[in-house]
Amino acid sequence: MDGLTLIDVLSRWAHVGAAVVLVGGSVFTRFVLMPAAAGLQESEHIALRERIMGRWKKFVMAGILLLLLSGFYNYLKVAVPAHKGDGLYHGLMGLKMLLAFGAFFLASVLTGRSPKFDAVRADAPKWLVVLLLLTGSVIAIGGFLKVVAKPRPADASVSILQESRPGA
């Protein structure tokens, strides 16, 4: 295995690992922690939330950084050459990136302190579900591209997805 292949593998691990931690943490927060903490007194509830958010925020920031670095590395170094000329692949990848940026923004707002977004944090159970729908769509597109859009030789210019559509 040469140096670059090793970086490719590390970058995949970082990408999938960060996604697992962030999405898993959000599912736990929304469907385990929030219902369990709902019975606490207001003062206890606020204190617990402050302590959890202080720690979880570091995971969110590090996870976003890892997803961005590994995602752009995977895309520019691996996917662009392997899917040259495949418009559908790059279109879906562009959509994946936009949805991911939306998810990063929402995750930052939910763990942040800016008074501008107090209303979003006050309705955190709803916005966490929106965050999970966004990340779920990002994962679905990522997994779909990995399985369906097979890499093609560098000179190919027709989408493998288009080829499978009658009349394309």
Residue with the two structure tokens 């009658």: 166
When asked if residue 66 is in the footprint of ligand HEM (CB under 6 A), the reply is no
DSSP character for 150?
A: -
Out of 29, 138, 159, 161, point to the residue binding ligand HEM (CB under 6 A): 138
100 part of the interface to ligand HEM, by CB under 6 A: yes
Piece of the chain touching ligand HEM by CB under 6 A; list 14-22, 38-46, 51-59, 120-128: 14-22
CA pair distance 22, 45, nearest whole angstrom? 23
Alpha helix segments (H runs only) across 29-158: 34-37, 42-73, 80-82, 87-111, 118-122, 124-148
Per CB under 6 A, 26 contacts ligand HEM: no
Compose the 27-56 pattern: x for residues touching ligand HEM by CB under 6 A, - for all others: ------------------------------
Q: Which stretch binds ligand HEM (CB under 6 A): 28-36, 49-57, 135-143, 152-160?
A: 135-143
Is 109 near ligand HEM (CB under 6 A)? no
Q: Which is nearer to ligand HEM, 47 or 62 (CB)?
A: 62
74 binds ligand HEM (CB under 6 A): yes
Task: Let me know: does 57 contact 114? Beta carbons within 8 Å.
Answer: no
Residue nearest ligand HEM by beta-carbon distance? 71
Angle between helices 3-28 and 124-148 in degrees, nearest 10: 150
Determine if 60 is a binding residue for ligand HEM (CB under 6 A).
Answer: no
User: Tokens standing for 8?
Assistant: 């490719």
CB-side neighbour CA atoms (13 Å) of 20: 6
Taking the C-alpha atoms of residue 44 and residue 159, their distance in angstroms, rounded to an integer, is: 56
Could you tell me where the DSSP H helices lie in 74-86? 80-82
Site residues (vs ligand HEM, CB under 6 A) = 12, 15-16, 19, 23, 67-68, 71-72, 74-75, 79, 96-97, 100, 103, 135, 138-139, 142-143, 145-146
